[in-house]
Structure 1
Amino acid sequence: MPLQPAASRPAPSVRHWLVDAAGRIEDALGPARVTRLVLPPLPAPAGKEGEFCAVQLEDGSVGLSFTLLNGTLRALHERTRPVAGAAAAELVAGYADGDGAARALGLATLNALTRRLCERAGFAPDDSVDSFGSLGLAAGDRLGMVGHFSPLIRHARALGIPVVVLELKAELVREEPGLSVTLDPQRLQGCNKIVSTSTLLLNDTFEQVASHWRHAEAVAIVGPSAGCPPDALFAAGVSAVGTAWVTDAEAFLARVAAGEKWGDASRKVTLTPQRYPGLDRLLARAC
Structure 2
Amino acid sequence: MRQTHHFRNLMNTVYQRVIDALGTRDAPRVRGIHIIGEHLDSNPNAKFGAVELEDGTVGLTYTKLGDALSILQDDTLYRSYLGQPVTHLARLYLASTQWQRVLGAGALNAISQMLLRQRGFDYSRAEDTLDLLRLSDADRVGMVGFFPPLLDSLKARQIPVTVIELKAELAREEEHLRVTTDPTALRGCNKVLITGTTVINHTLAPLLPLVTEANEVALVGPSVGLLPEVLFELGVTSVGGRVILDGPAFLERWKNGKKWKDSALRYSLHRNHYPG
Q: TM-score, normalised by structure 2?
A: 0.91
Are 2:253 and 1:255 aligned?
A: yes
For the structure 1 residues 132 and 66, does the alpha-carbon distance in structure 2 shift closer, same or farther, using more than 3 Å as the test? farther
SS for the counterpart of 2:265 is strand
Gaps of 5+ in 2: none
CA RMSD of aligned residues (A): 2.0
Partners of 1:171 and 1:202 in 2: CA distance: 25
Distance 1:126 1:91 in 2: 29
| Matching residue of 1:79 | 75
Quote the offset at 1:204 in angstroms.
2.3
Structure 1 residue 49: deviation in Å? Answer: 2.3
Shift of 1:73: 1.3
Cα deviation for residue 41 of structure 1 reads 4.0
1:79-120 Cα distance to aligned partner (Å, 9 max, x none): 314142132111111101242111111111111111111121
By how many angstroms is 1:207 displaced?
1.6
Please name the residue that 2:222 is paired with. Answer: 224
Local SS of the residue matching 1:245: strand
**Structure 1 alignment gaps of length 5 or more:** 1-8, 279-287
Question: Could you tell me how far 1:224 is from its partner in structure 2?
Answer: 1.6
- State the alpha-carbon separation in 1 of the partners of residues 42 and 148 from structure 2: 15
Displaced runs of 4 or more, over 4 A: 9-12, 45-48
Quote the sequence identity (%): 36
TM-score (norm 1): 0.88
1:212 alignment partner, SS class = helix
Cα deviation 1:50-82 (Å, max 9, x = unaligned): 311011101111100000011111211213141
Counterparts of 1:128-143 in structure 2, within 5 Å, are: 128-132=126-130, 134-143=132-141
Indicate the larger mover: 70-79 or 246-255: 70-79
* Aligned equivalents of 2:222, 2:159: Cα separation in 1: 27
Deviations 1:119-176 (A, max 9, x none): 2111133211413462232211111100111111111111111110001111211111
Q: Is the 8 A contact 1:34 1:84 kept in 2?
A: yes
SS in 2 for 1:224: coil
Which one has more relative contact order, counting CA pairs under 8 Å at least 6 apart? Answer: 1
Q: In the comparison of the two structures, how many residue pairs are matched? A: 270
Matched letter for residue 50 of structure 1: A
